[in-house]
Amino acid sequence: MNTVILSTILSLSGLGTTAAIVLYFVAQKFKVKEDPRIDEVEEALPAANCGGCGFAGCRNFAEACVKSDDFEGLFCPVGGNETMSAVASILGRDAVEQDPRVAVLRCNGTCDVRPKTNQYEGPALCTIASALYGGDTGCQYGCLGFGDCVEACNFNALSMDLKTGLPVVNDANCTACGACVKACPRDLFELRKRAKKDRKIYVACRNEDKGGIARKSCEVACIGCGKCVKVCPFEAITMDNNLAFIDADKCKLCRKCVPECPTNSIIEIGFPPRKERSESDNKPSPEEESKTSVSEETQNKKEE
């Protein structure tokens, strides 16, 4: 009996050793040599693994940077231009710079301007609520308010405002990773160019219904009147599907469009308060009055 056990142990040991040797030589033969620069690039990245670059993690992004001939389509939004400059230095290439961006919520339908019409009693998730029905208000385009975006953010840049029922973006913490953009089933988040002093002007609405229907659903909905398009001197505003959109790359923050919006759906953030014109400001100056008098006299002479 002992002899049988001993021979079994020896046989299995020999078989295991043989298999190990074979596997070792096979691994050596087909071993893929990895570029050591991948480790260097990965070390230069912020290690957020947020997916904002379009890759599963920082390691995958580092591999793509090393294997590509240039940086076209490759950018780390969390690290920004400083990180990409370090990566370029490691790889001996020219750095690619992009304007820093920040997330904005394109919905301003707070509880007081977009009243609820029904009560939702399902799972408190935007993705599920959006798939099941149009929402608990008359607007089927607005924020559902369950905070999927807050859960998706890894940088504490989002929080829910219990008073308004809408998520709030903390510009100081936002890295423009795009996690909120992917998490929102209603496509309400947009990554816009970050201007000086975090100033922003954008249309906080996604309602594509016609004006009357949109206004009935929400008091601050865009009604597609086109007034903002007409006053924009930089052609930064377009109208599509009854909805205005302001291109952040073309917008010069002149603010001319804001007072033209009859529903206040255009948001301006970070600007000093507008100066209110007094009655004296509306009166013509003495020079203007003089010109008017001369013009009237000339006209009267012509009529005579």
Q: Choose among 122, 49, 45: nearest CA to 85.
A: 45
**If DSSP codes are grouped into helix, strand and coil, which group holds residue 82?**
helix
- 169 phi/psi in degrees, rounded to 5: -95, 125
Question: Rounded to a whole number, what is the distance in angstroms from the first to the last CA of the chain?
Answer: 140
Write down the pLDDT at residue 13.
83
pLDDT tens digit sequence for 232-260: 999 999 999 999 999 999 999 999 999 99
Give CA separation, 214 vs 110, 137, 234, 238, in Å. 15, 12, 27, 18
Q: In the structure, what pLDDT confidence band is assigned to residue 290 with cuts at 50, 70 and 90?
A: very low
Residues, the chain: 304
Write down the pLDDT at residue 278.
54
pLDDT tens digit sequence for 57-85: 999 999 999 998 888 889 999 999 999 99
| Domains located in the chain, CATH noted | 37-91 (1.10.15.40), 101-269 (3.30.70.20)
Give CA separation, 90 vs 34, 62, 73, 77, in Å. 16, 11, 18, 18
Write down the pLDDT at residue 277.
56
Location of structure tokens 């599963």:
56
Which contiguous run of DSSP H or E holds residue 128?
A: helix 126-132
The DSSP secondary structure of 205-244, one letter per residue, reads ----S-HHHHHHH-TT------HHHHH-TT--EEEETTEE
